[in-house]
Chain A
Amino acid sequence: MKEIGDALSRVESFVLELELYYFNSSSAKLLFDIFDAVDEAAADGLDVQIKWNYRSDDDSMQEAGEDFMEDVENATFIMQEI
């Protein structure tokens, strides 16, 4: 997580694009921590976009994205049906 923070301090904008099919609860925590780190960078003025790609028939990944979106306050969180 420190590496992500360091990397974010060296760029002007940042796009995090994800396309997942399944993740377990340990990975949910990791994803949350990553979103938290980039959201914090966005609060400090960095232009951050998170693109959450989910397949049109995949309710569970759509709901998971919506859940994460609720906790992202400063970065732009885009739900993208593919």
Chain B
Amino acid sequence: MVPGTRRASAATRLGVGVELLYAIDRPLEGGEAIDRSGRMTVDMAEATLEEFARLSEERSRLAQAQGRLILDQAASWVRAAGVETVRERLVFGGLVDNLRDHEVDARLIVVGKRGEAENQAAAHLGSNLERVVRASHHPVLIVPPEQRPLRRFVVAYDGGPSSTKVIDILTQEPLLLDAECHLLMVSAADAEHRSRLAAATARLRDAGYSVNEVLTPGQADKVILATVRDTDADLLVMGAYGHARIRTLIIGSTTTALLRASMVPVLVVR
């Protein structure tokens, strides 16, 4: 589900183990079982249940075997990249619901930008991605299929609660410490914004980062993408979904727009 080496490099930096989670989203009972005769049969509930069980048994077994294979392959990649503790976890149900149950003791969640059907619509996000980001309480790293070493990263900072959380996480976790940080704030260059940005810069520098301050006015998603491109950054770090869901529904979300457009990995902090 995830390019193993990327995951592994994050893990070695954090000094933690990796848990590989593969969720078998159970499909509906097969088409061949469908009976539209509308007839009530003798002991229909039991009979129907047995029929369904018979039909889904074989399918579940195959799905499990497939899931195991995928996990084993991923685990061998992760191990090859130098991570010692690798746990495999095969579960039934939606990825998002399972993630919520499994993420309790996780420090970072890594997902691929797009799944199996990635080539179908290049600008679309994977079906799980946005839901994972919304559901997770931990930082989520979204990786595109292409790999690149991490030298520089851009932090999109707006002074709001979720981007303050970004700074908190960066100061707590050693993940990005040896990369060069560009702290970007998209807003008018007034005194208040300047002082907020300076405060965040100070916190990061205290934590040992080498920080480059950038304050640019403009439309958030465009400026952020341009900065990533201009600085040749390898990673974008940002807070996620700072606005109410209803506002997001109507005018769209900067987070989703960035996730979609970014060509580099994105680390999203909620």
- Pairing of A with B: no
Residues of chain A touching chain B, judged by Cβ–Cβ distance below 8 Å, are none
